[in-house]
Chains A and B, each alone.
Chain A
Amino acid sequence: MPEPPYEPDATIPAVGAGGATDLAMEEGETPEQRPGGGPRGTGTAEPGRARSLWSDAWRDLRRNPVFIISGLVIAFLVVISLWPSLIASGNPLHCDLGKAQEGSQPGHPFGFDGQGCDVYTRTVYGARTSVTVGVCATLGVALFGSVLGGLAGFFGGAWDALLSRITDVFFGIPVVLGGLVFLSVITSTTVWPVIGFIVLLGWPQIARIARGSVITAKQNDYVQAARALGASNARMLLRHVTPNAVAPVIVVATIALGTYISLEATLSYLGVGLKPPTVSWGIDLSAASPYVRNAPHMLLWPAGALAITVLAFIMLGDAVRDALDPKLR
């Protein structure tokens, strides 16, 4: 009987069938091109269809009804924020005390609020404030957070430690509480203090995520290889690390946009956010709450608009996350 070709003590790793496949695969295809398709290694091979993360995500999104609906709602909101007069001909600041708290009537489908202002017009104009606050705060948060977090993650060391401590401090302050304290001393009636406050308390969240994903990306083999080949820091950050860290930041920022709108309304409801004459759902809700008993319509319309807006952004963020991170499905 011949000796089987097996030497347990040999240091050569046993290359069985698996090895044979790997070798065979070098004939023109990279492993990434074989989508892990079916369950447990039903190795599907589809040559010539290399898909990137983004095109793959986009293909998924276009078919996702949640994405389409929330995208349409957001598009509508953006349009009426830019040109509210498209669907509301009145002036949100033009009020007639004589009609205060009156209900729905021709030409005024949502009725009047406590000051006799047209609720429909104010609800439409309120979108502009909410969208402005949401978009500006998110841009600020994303910019500050990803730059600070990304650099800390990339360079590590003392900068990273310092940033981590600073983010800890900001996480130590409950948001609504902080808003109450910080904004109560401000008398400006513009949207900027509120945006500034949200950026101030919001950036650490994005910074943590950006830091985490940069650290993960940095450890990828090809980034290590680029480093070994002498790529400069700037080049590595731009070409290799950033593209991988962008996806999670986008996802979190989209969802955060919704929550910022909600936060603005909450602060305005508490009386420390936006102040009249700014037209905001939060202000209107705050004004309406004492009259809930007699004139619930004053509360319901802006509340509905607010809820739909926040919902649209959160659903959009959810859909984008599902598309970018198939693992979570």
Chain B
Amino acid sequence: MTAATPAPLLEVRDLHVEFRTRDGIAKAVNGVNYRVAEGETLAVLGESGSGKSVTAQAVMGILDMPPGRITGGEIVFQGRDLLQLREDERQKVRGREMAMIFQDALSALNPVLSVGEQLGEMFVVHRGMSRKDAKNKAVELMDRVRIPAARERVGQFPHQFSGGMRQRIMIAMALALEPSLIIADEPTTALDVTVQAQVMDLLAELRRELDMGLILITHDLGVVADVADKIAVMYAGRIVESAPVHDIYKAPAHPYTKGLLESIPRLDQKGQELYAIKGLPPNLVRIPPGCAFHPRCPLARDVCRTDVPPLYDVPDGRGSACHFWQEALHG
């Protein structure tokens, strides 16, 4: 469990992001708040289109603008609002203080540069090292993420590595300058099931060693349980539930979270039909009024169709954006 309450490393406050699309303005992020303390792991959960990746890209400062646009909020990192920084100041934060691990390492790594060059580049650019020293550093990093025969493979290209090894290279690249925050955007989704656990364990272990904060973005509840301290569940660009990790498994306080948990296949319930949340995720150009989840919610009543639920305080430092959270919690 989390120690005391360490100083916040990152605090996202009331963030709003929109995208211009052919069909109109898509409201991808609508007032997200979350904090990550130093050395803490926050898991952000949600379907595709829930805004979890967009939020992360906004934090990282790699949002495609246009068509994206940050329309409000603050991203306070180490006491500074990143949104107020100039681009060149922002650039110094990236890679050095915060780094990102992408989902598909094959497309996220440059196909025509050797992995050694791509890893070493961090040291050349940020530390002003010579290319030779940088290469040695790259080998060190590859050793660290347990890539066998690192010295021989440092000159190879991304497509010559297996999926798991490529993801290790991505992790190595993110860890290169020992940043204080790592954002991992579905780091294991593109991998074989058997490799997923190894990569996740490696990431968790290195995070512990370097005592970094970690934002783990995923749609896979299973991955989260072992690694995260807290969970934030997102739906239609908002956080609908936040809680320490094990509380959420014990008793979710939002019908959406509940639906997610019930849709995981369980070994002890063989033969039963798998639960599915009915309906479709909302169209972000036309988010339903009131609670965005109401068209799919088993608990929905009239108030849900008109009033947007605030994030209600739930005992033990939890939060739920459901008018009927008590019912969800105890039902």
Contacts and interface: CB of A to CB of B under 8 A. Distances in A.
A and B touch in their complex, CB below 8 angstroms: yes
Interface of A: 1-2, 4-21, 23-25, 27, 29, 34, 37-46
A21 B193 contact: no
Contacts of A24: 276-280
A11 B196 CA distance: 12
Interface string B190-221: 00010011000000000000000000001111
A10 B268 CA distance: 12
Interface in B279-296: 279-281, 283-285
Contacts of B48: 18, 21, 40-41, 43
B67 interface: yes
A111 B286 CA distance: 64
Contacts of B246: 1, 4
A38 B28 contact: yes
B277 to A, nearest CB: 5
Contacts of A25: 280
Interface in B218-241: 218-223, 225-226
6 contacts: A6-B226, A21-B47, A23-B274, A24-B278, A38-B21, A45-B283
Contacts of A2: 249-250
State the 3 A-B residue pairs at the shortest beta-carbon distance, nearest first: A4-B225, A6-B222, A41-B48
B31 interface: no
Interface stretch (B140-148, B154-162, B258-266, B321-329): B258-266
Chain B interface size band reads 35 or more
Contacts of A39: 19, 21, 26, 28, 64, 67-68
A11 B267 CA distance: 10
A11 B192 CA distance: 11
Contact of A15 (B53, B54, B263): B263
A3 to B, nearest CB: 9
Nearest to B201: A8
B330 interface: no
Contacts of B163: none
Contact of B221 (A16, A43, A46): A16
Task: Determine the main DSSP class of A at the interface with B.
Answer: loop
B117 to A, nearest CB: 28
A42 B32 CA distance: 17
Contacts of B223: 6, 14
Given A20-B277, A38-B26, A42-B21, A15 B265 contact: yes
Given A12-B267, A38-B284, A41-B49, 15 more contacts: A6-B223, A15-B265, A17-B221, A18-B48, A21-B280, A21-B281, A24-B278, A24-B280, A38-B26, A39-B26, A43-B280, A44-B21, A44-B284, A44-B285, A45-B283
B134 interface: no
Contacts of B152: none
Nearest to B21: A38
A194 to B, nearest CB: 44
A13 B195 CA distance: 12
A5 B23 contact: no
Given A16-B218, A27-B278, A5 B19 contact: no
Contacts of B264: 5-6, 14-16
Nearest to B68: A39
A44 B22 CA distance: 11
Contacts of B263: 15-17, 19-20, 23
Most A-side CB within 10 Å, residue of B64, B219, B274: B219
A209 B197 CA distance: 44
